[in-house]
């Protein structure tokens, strides 16, 4: 596609529910990143994929958060047993090179998650 | 642990002014530095990317500089316009080279 696509754009759920957020990166981009942004804050790194594998998942806050990228393209961020503190905008970005040494990141518009 | 600080947090200027946004980082061993723009309720748009071996980059009215030794970058905006109103975010590559670490941003308002 022309840009990074994220769905849904908005998601409202109840505490304790399971949520999936999807990211479709720019075609051909091998690197994919998930970030979380709370109001008034900069984006916070969650996980980085190089191809199908998670090269760095050090930003995932706890084991309720999990992400996959089975075919090296679309990625899904999965949140189990959601808590009110998970409410944020979840941003996805992709890059044409592996890693940050030469890659410029292109961001999607984000998925706004609200946990009631 | 890399930390990124942006000053000021907010800035209001009249149209036509030249302005400078500041970014500082604690670990000089960065991979690159990138400046982004974010409009309310939107994603991030990349403005300028400075490789670790470079000292500056220019795009139109924007100029970004990088001084790794002092842990600082500046974004210079010439002849500001109301359309420049947005939040500007600075981000540096983490020590592992696997992610960008962001500051909290500077919210710019340019009045006509």
Within 8 A of B102 by CB-CB distance, chain A residues are: 35, 42-44
**For residue B37, which of B97, B80, B94 has the smallest C-alpha distance?**
B80
Q: By three-state DSSP, how is residue A85 classified? A: helix
pLDDT digits (tens, 9 = 90+) for A22-53: 999 999 999 999 999 999 899 999 999 998 99
Does B11 lie at the interface with A, CB-CB under 8 angstroms? no
Which chain B residue shows the shortest CA-CA distance from A59? B99
How far, CA to CA in Å, does A61 sit from each of A35, A38, A43, A58?
A: 11, 14, 14, 8
Q: Is the pLDDT of residue A11 over 60?
A: yes
Percent of chain A beyond pLDDT 70? 93
Within 8 A of A35 by CB-CB distance, chain B residues are: 102
Confidence band for A104, pLDDT divided at 50, 70 and 90 = confident
């Amino acid at each position: 596609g022309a840009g990074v696509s994220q769905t849904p754009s908005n998601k409202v759920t109840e505490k304790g529910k399971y949520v999936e957020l999807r990211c479709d990166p720019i075609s051909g981009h091998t690197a994919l990143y998930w970030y979380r942004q709370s109001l008034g804050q900069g984006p916070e790194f969650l996980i980085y994929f190089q191809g199908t594998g998670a090269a760095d998942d050090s930003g995932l806050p706890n084991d309720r958060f999990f992400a996959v990228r089975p075919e090296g393209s679309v990625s899904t961020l999965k949140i189990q047993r959601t808590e009110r503190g998970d409410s944020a905008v979840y941003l996805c970005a992709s890059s044409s090179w592996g890693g940050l040494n030469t890659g410029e990141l292109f961001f999607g518009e984000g998925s706004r998650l609200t946990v009631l | 642990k890399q930390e990124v600080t942006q000053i000021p947090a907010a800035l209001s200027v009249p149209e036509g002014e030249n302005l400078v946004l500041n970014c500082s980082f604690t670990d000089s061993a960065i991979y690159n530095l990138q400046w982004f723009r974010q409009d309310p309720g939107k994603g991030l748009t990349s403005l300028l990317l400075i490789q670790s071996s470079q000292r500056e980059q220019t795009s139109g009215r924007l100029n970004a500089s990088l001084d790794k030794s002092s842990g600082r970058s500046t974004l210079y905006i010439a002849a500001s316009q109301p359309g420049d109103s947005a939040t500007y975010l600075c981000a540096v590559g983490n020590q592992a080279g696997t992610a960008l670490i962001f500051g909290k941003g500077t919210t710019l308002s340019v009045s006509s």
